[in-house]
Amino acid sequence: MKKYGKFFPSADKIMMIKLKIVFLLIFLVLPLTSVFAHRILYAEEFYRLYHRQLHHYKEDHLENIFWLEQALRADFANPLNALAVIRTPQEWERYRNLFRMHVSLKLVESYLGLGSRFDRMQANFFNAPFRDINIRSLERAREIYEFARIYWEEALRWSAKVPRSWIVLEEVQHWEDQAHRIREGLLNYNTVINRHIARIDRLIEEFRNMDDHTFCIPPPLRE
């Protein structure tokens, strides 16, 4: 089986190269913000750099993950510059908890999207020559899905701090909807992650059971 590996680039090496390129570009661009505009400091500013699009490549997921994680680490802007109208300390506290819950959910989605780029839906017999490559890719997907689980647990933690209330933040009503769905059990990414990991474990086992006889390249036809 190993004789086929030399004809294909290592998935791990490709991933590391792309990671280095993405983060190099980010750190090259960030210092320029202080020259052409202003330095990015606050959670809301980092969140605005998160971009939504129909199709995502690995680099898009990695970039979104970077900005969203920075948003979780950063301080909040003054309530005057919040993403919702804030009038009272109670609204301010609810807004911050909702923000962190929402960003954590976006990180779950981003990690799930990134993991899907390494995932496989089935172990076809004709993939036997590339068994080791597929196993490494599936193992990478599994690791990434576990990162998604970490942020799902964070989302649960922050949603628990957003109880039912008469306070309404209309500008971020969809965040309130997310908190409601979590409370009611209508949104549960843990189930999704468990399903992905169970399938990956099954596929890895199927690939490991493949050998040189699983798929044999037929000899060329003779005229």
pLDDT at 176: 95
In a domain, 41, yes or no: yes
Collect all residues with Cβ–Cβ distance below 8 Å to 177 and sequence separation of at least 6: none
Whether 52 maps to a domain, the answer reads: yes
The rounded distance, in Å, linking the Cα atoms of 208 and 71 is 41
d(CA 40, CA 33): 7
- The residue with greater pLDDT, 45 or 22, is 45
d(CA 179, CA 161): 10
Q: How many domains is the chain partitioned into structurally? A: 1
Share of the chain above pLDDT 90, in %: 59
- Residue 221 covered by a domain: no
Buried/exposed 118-155: b ≥16 CB within 10 Å, e otherwise: bbbeebeeebbbbbbbbbbbbebbbebbebbbebbebb
51 located within any domain: yes
Rounded to the nearest 5°, which phi and psi values hold at 163?
-75, 170
Identity at 186, one-letter amino acid code:
L
Is the pTM here over 0.85, yes or no?
A: no
Binned at pLDDT 50, 70 and 90, residue 218 comes out as low
Instruction: Tell me the per-residue pLDDT of 159-208, one tens digit each, with 9 for 90 and over.
Output: 999 988 888 899 999 999 999 999 999 999 999 999 999 999 999 998 88
218 assigned to some structural domain: no
In 143-213, at which residue ranges do the beta strands (DSSP E only) sit?
A: none
**Percent of the chain clearing pLDDT 70 (strictly above):** 77
In a domain, 114, yes or no: yes
Asked whether residue 220 is domain-assigned, the answer is no
pLDDT band at 4 (very low <50, low <70, confident <90, very high): very low
- Tell me whether residue 27 is in a domain: yes
Domain that holds residue 30: 2-208
Please give the pLDDT value at position 26.
Answer: 57
> Each residue of 76-102: pLDDT tens digit?
999 999 999 999 999 999 999 999 999
Task: Please say whether the beta carbons of 175 and 169 come within 8 A.
Answer: yes
Q: 89 vs 27, 31, 182, CA distance in Å?
A: 36, 34, 24
